[in-house]
Amino acid sequence: MVFMRKEWLSIASVWLLVAIGAVLVILNLEQGEAIRSFGVLAAGSLALVSLVHLFSSHSEGIVRRLIFAAGGAYAILAIAGLYILLLG
């Protein structure tokens, strides 16, 4: 059960970093550049999740963790993208 909490902690951490990155991009870049930057954030979040799980001691369930982390990151970026498109 402790492993499950630790698993969600790493996933939520990635989501938090993506959300902070999306807010920073929205505040500092123009509309077109922000949309392109979301692709970089998405790729970076997937790479970050892969690195976190590469160094973790539990390899079981890695695909599920990658899907949750990437899916949440993409959902955050989709909401941020809609926000930018509705603003402009």
Cβ–Cβ < 8 Å for 33, 12? no
The pLDDT tens digits of the residues spanning 21-71 come to 999 999 999 988 988 898 899 888 888 878 877 777 666 777 888 888 889
CA angle 16, 21, 22 (to 5 degrees): 100
Q: Is the pLDDT of residue 2 over 70?
A: no
Six-digit token pair at 74? 């993409």
- DSSP for residue 60: T
Tell me how far apart the alpha carbons of residues 76 and 83 are, in angstroms, rounded to a whole number: 11
CA angle 21, 26, 32 (to 5 degrees): 115
pLDDT at res. 75: 94
Tell me how far apart the alpha carbons of residues 47 and 49 are, in angstroms, rounded to a whole number: 5
